[in-house]
Structures are given as C-alpha cells and as structure tokens.
Amino acid sequence: MTESEKKLEQMLKDFEKANPDAGKALRKLVDETPALKGNLLSSIEKGTLERIEPTPAGIPPNIPGFYTSKEETLPSGEKLKANSIYISTTELIDAGKDPKIANNMRMIMTHESEHALNKDSILKADKAFEDKLLAIAKGPSPHDYTSVLAEKGKSDRLREATDQIGGFNAVAAYVFKENPGATQAQLYQKLYDSCPEMEPYFNVKGTPPKATYELKDGLTLGKDGQLALTPPDVKEKNIEAMGKYFYDARPYQEQYGTRDLVRALKTELDTQTAEAAKNPSYTPPEVRVNLKELGLQHLSPHLPSGITDTSSSPYIRGSAQEPQPALREGHERTHLHALDGHGVGTRDSGGFKVDPSLSELLKAMNDPNSNPVSMREALANFAKQPDIQHIRQEGAREYVQQEAQKVQETAKPQPAQEAPAQETPARKVSGM
C-alpha cells in the first residue's frame, strides 16, 4: 500500500467512525468509482487534498459537497479547512438507499475531486488574471476590463466543462460495467436513467416505454461508453458541447462573472485610492466594461459611479445619462442591490469607494477558489436573484422529486400523435 493509499484509507476510516452509515456509503462510492479514487489518491500525493469531512452544521443540508483550497470562515463563524472535500452525510445516507442519488453523488464527488487535483493550475491561472487586472488599473485611461473578464470567463467555462466530463465519465464507466453487452440504444437509455445529472446530455423522442434516446449534438462516446478524449478534435468538440449543456445552461457565468467583475472593481478601487492618497489633484480615469458581452447586462443599472457600461445605450452612474428611478423600478425589484446596494458608492474626488457593507462579498470574492457556501451567502445578499439559488450545489433529493413530477406529467398519453423530439431542459440544480 502506497503512502497515498494509507492516507486515503485513514480518511475513510475517520469519516466512517464519526458517521457510520454515511461513511459506509462513501467508501462504497470510492471503491466503485476508479476515476474518483484515482483523483483522490493523486490529489493526496500532490498535497492538495488533506482531509474528507462531513459538511458542518452551518452548511445548508441540501448542499451535496464541495472542495476548499484555502481556509475560510463562514458567515456563521464556522471554519472550513484548506485542501478539504466536504460531503453531506444526509446525501451520502440517501445515496446508500437510492441508486440515482448514488450516481448523482458519484458525479459530484468526481467533479469536486477534479478541482482538488487541478488546484495548482487553477491558482496559477487566477494569479495571471489578477496581474492583468492590476496592469489595467495602473495603466493609462480609459481602463477597459471587458477583454480580461471575457478571457477569464472562457477559462472558467473550459475548466468547469472539462471537470464535468470527468464526472460524466465516472458515472458512464459505472453504468457500462453494470450493463455489459448493452447495445448503443440500450446504453443511452441506461445512462439517461442513471441519475438526473445525466439527463441534460440526451435528447428524448417519444414517451416511455417507447421513448428513444440520443446524445445531444457535439457529444461523442468512445467504445468504453465514456465521452471520448481522443483524438484531439473529438475531445475539443466534447468539451465545447459540455460547456454548452452544462456551463451555459446553468447560471455559472452569472456566478463567476459577477465575482470576477467585483474583483476588477476592487482592484480599480484600491489603485485609485492609493493614487489619490499620493496626489491630492489626482483625476480618476474613465473605467469601462461591456456587460452585454460578458452576459451580465442585467447589472448595468446597478453599476457604481465612475463606471461606464459600453453596451448599447451606455450611461455613467451619477451623470445626466442615468435613468430616473421610475424607469428602473421594475428592474430593481428583480435584481435588488446588484452592485450599488451592497456598498459601491461615490468618492468626493469623482471615483468610487467600498462601503463597509460590501466587505463580506469582497472577502468571498477574494479567494479564486472561494468555496460554494460562502459564495452562495455573498451572492444571496449581493444580487437577491432567484437564479442564484439554483447553482450546482443544490441537493439531489429535491431535484429528484421535482424531476419525478415532470416525468409523470410528460408520460401522460398524447392524443392522436407521438410527441416530437425535444431538448431535455437544462438543469438548474445539483451538478458541479
């Protein structure tokens, strides 16, 4: 037994000792999922995974699991340890009873283990992003952050899509092993039926029991039943398709894009503050961002003073172009306090400053691998948008219940003709 294997075994023993039923389910998932086990062992060897622990009491019970790269303090005051995978004991116990939830957890845990495995490269990319933000903030006016933020968005999309392929393939390998000799049509149905997280990647024609299943455009399985990673052109198409059906279909861009926008504004703020302290006659630069290009156009009415949205009909907050409150009222109700309401105010010198009420959000945004829990807390206060509540950390149980109801409604006999082929709706919950 290698040192990494000994450490993993001890982690599983410790988890099971404190949580017998959940621990047995966890061990079973690890033993049944070679990709997950391999990622855990490699992460332990690299030093990016030091513990596997149950989610603490301060974590909402419907969050299946997440990886933390750094130590964090939750709004409740509870501490999260660095280099840790936290897993819901409730979800694990349910996974021990329900194969669909087990496969959901198999996918989620494998995806999170990919984050642990790739921690160093993620931090390196994030440092490069910070350097680019600082270069703009210290450069000549105007300071346009659009291209850097767009590039970061593409990087986030690539990482999440690639890691989700790892989760998909972990479930696919299990299904393939459990169904030797299955035809392609049978395998597609088995994959679709394995768990709710698999459904977004298939088109369904007709209704059970005569329904047929096909992989969505751009996705290709290899002979092993997994999304192919060779040759390079097929791998590239699979990653792009996963980006469409996973990343784009969920509010990832809103979550990550908002985080990165705030980091850009904080960098600009810090630089302006430092320059103003050195030079009393300092004139703030023009600061620009094209929110429409970033998929964040709904934040435009909430940009702080001194920031120009260069999308169609841009205006500068605090200027004559700013829409009157009556014209913005409906949007405010939907996207309450998206930026200005959480502390980005004005500064006498014409720039902008951070109000103390923004500190919680900025703290969560500061860590490039800020864990999903603190991010959820910050975004809940930051945007007050219903969609934010449906990011990937939502629990599998509620999701299964919702989808079961949809299946019952879909399965009702259709009068006169067979239902046409249709795209499976994008999932707004669980996932990675």
- The arithmetic mean of pLDDT across residues 399-407, rounded, is 39
The bridge status of strand 84-87 relative to strand 65-68 is antiparallel
**Among 157, 172, 186, which residue's Cα sits nearest to residue 221?**
172
Q: DSSP character for 141?
A: S
| Phi, psi for residue 406 in degrees, rounded to 5 | -65, -40
What per-residue confidence (pLDDT) applies to 62? 67
Q: Hey, what are 183's tokens?
A: 């035809």
Cα 170–Cα 172–Cα 173 angle in degrees, nearest 5: 65
How many alpha carbons fall within 13 Å on the CB side of residue 315? 13
| Phi, psi for residue 132 in degrees, rounded to 5 | -70, -40
Using CA atoms, how far apart are residues 350 and 353, in angstroms rounded to an integer? 10
Report whether 160 contacts 252 (CB < 8 A).
Answer: yes
Burial of 73 (0-12, 13-18, 19+ CB in 10 A): exposed
User: Which amino acid belongs to residue 110?
Assistant: T
**Among 100, 65, 107, 113, which residue's Cα sits nearest to residue 86?**
65
Provide the edge-to-edge strand list for the sheet that holds 287-289.
Answer: 143-144, 287-289, 307-309
**Among 84, 88, 112, 99, which residue's Cα sits nearest to residue 28?**
99
Regarding predicted confidence, which is higher, 246 or 431?
246
**Among 224, 86, 84, 252, which residue's Cα sits nearest to residue 161?**
252
Q: DSSP character for 283?
A: -
- Token look-up 């997280």 returns 197
Q: Hey, what are 308's tokens?
A: 């120009």
Provide the edge-to-edge strand list for the sheet that holds 212-215.
Answer: 212-215, 202-205, 422-423
Report whether 12 contacts 30 (CB < 8 A).
Answer: yes
What is the SS3 assignment for 108? helix
Q: DSSP character for 354?
A: B
What is the SS3 assignment for 84? strand
Regarding predicted confidence, which is higher, 424 or 169?
169
What per-residue confidence (pLDDT) applies to 10? 97
Using CA atoms, how far apart are residues 418 and 409, in angstroms rounded to an integer? 15
Tell me which range, 107-111, 252-256, 297-301, 309-313, is most confidently predicted by mean pLDDT. Answer: 107-111
pLDDT digits (tens, 9 = 90+) for 346-361: 223 333 333 333 334 4
pLDDT digits (tens, 9 = 90+) for 33-65: 999 999 999 999 999 999 999 998 878 766 899
144's enclosing H/E stretch is strand 143-144
Report whether 385 contacts 335 (CB < 8 A).
Answer: yes
pLDDT digits (tens, 9 = 90+) for 67-90: 999 898 887 788 899 999 999 999
Q: What is the model's pTM? A: 0.73
pLDDT digits (tens, 9 = 90+) for 284-326: 999 999 999 999 988 888 787 778 999 964 444 443 333 333 2
